[in-house]
Amino acid sequence: MSQPRIVRVPIVPFGVVNCHLVISEQGCVLVDTGVPGSHRKIERALKAEGLGLQDIRLIVVTHAHMDHAGSAARVRQLSGAPIVAHEGDLPYYQRRKPMTFCETGWVSRLFFRTGVIVKPYEAFTPDILLTDGQALDLAPYGIAGRARPTPGHTAGSVSLELDSGDALVGDLVASGVLLGGLMHTQHARRPPFEDDPATVALQLQQLVAGGMQTFHLGHGGPLPAKEVMRHAGWLGRQRAGRMYQGAVACGCESVGAGGAGGAHG
């Protein structure tokens, strides 16, 4: 199998929100789908590679926050590709439960005030549902590597481990000032929300121990393994932040009452 290329798809410029294409001669896998309405940006990135939406063979959704899962239903509809995700976030994908958010600092509070992250997205049920300890071999989709559960950022977080030493980890770690890659892009930091820092630290350490050298992120990045390890060492000593619930945090009762509370991100 040929060495894959990792193509960053800018959903918000400067690495503020990324999704990624993993492309080999044998196939193309989309990792995350951006906020609702991102399908055109994904299509544009594919076009630059001489590909179209129909060339996507698998859609990996790393977790249920809206900046990652927001366009999953639409991209599946347009591409015909199956979605793989972890069962831990299933109630949020299906909008059966309001999502909770644990803040990691003042940026988190800022995000809540904007109301952006609690915007609902189109509900969906993944075609392939991973359970804990279960990995999906990506070879049938043309990529040497696997997708496996790495809970911690949310209960249902998933990462890709490629044989090339590239890891695509969603929000297990972020980089840059505020959110993304405007400044200090080589400096790892916590994303605005994170359920369980100690578990995330362990996941990052395990990924490095498993041979991962380059980490591709939902916000900022990429980061080398050495910086990820520095961050993980510090993160393991942090505590989970104050928890908010989607519908409550946005201050909009109609969102919760309307049943859209689960789809927040």
Complex with Zn ion: residue 27 or 98, whichever CB lies closer: 98
Binding of residue 194 to Zn ion (CB under 5 A): no
The rounded distance, in Å, linking the Cα atoms of 77 and 34 is: 15
Residue 198 main-chain phi, psi, to 5 deg: -65, -40
* Angle (deg, nearest 10), helices 197-209 and 225-235: 150
- Give the DSSP letter of residue 89: G
Complex with Zn ion: residue 73 or 142, whichever CB lies closer: 73
Which strand (E) or helix (H) includes residue 257? helix 253-257
In angstroms, give the least distance from the CB of 247 to Zn ion: 18
Nearest in space to 53 (alpha carbons), one of 36, 34, 30: 30
Q: Please list every residue from 22 through 81 that binds Zn ion, using CB under 5 A.
A: 65, 67
Selected binder of Zn ion within 32, 161, 171, 196 (CB under 5 A) = 171
Q: Please list every residue from 120 through 159 that binds Zn ion, using CB under 5 A.
A: none
Binding of residue 218 to Zn ion (CB under 5 A): yes
In angstroms, give the least distance from the CB of 8 to Zn ion: 14
Q: Are 160 and 31 in contact (CB under 8 A)?
A: yes
Of 28-36, 78-86, 211-219, 239-247, the window that binds Zn ion (rule: CB under 5 A) is 211-219
In angstroms, give the least distance from the CB of 189 to Zn ion: 13
Complex with Zn ion: residue 218 or 262, whichever CB lies closer: 218
Instruction: Tell me how far CA of residue 220 lies from CA of 44, 96, 240, 257, 265, in angstroms.
Output: 20, 31, 22, 35, 18
In angstroms, give the least distance from the CB of 175 to Zn ion: 12
Binding site for Zn ion (CB under 5 A): 65, 67, 171, 218
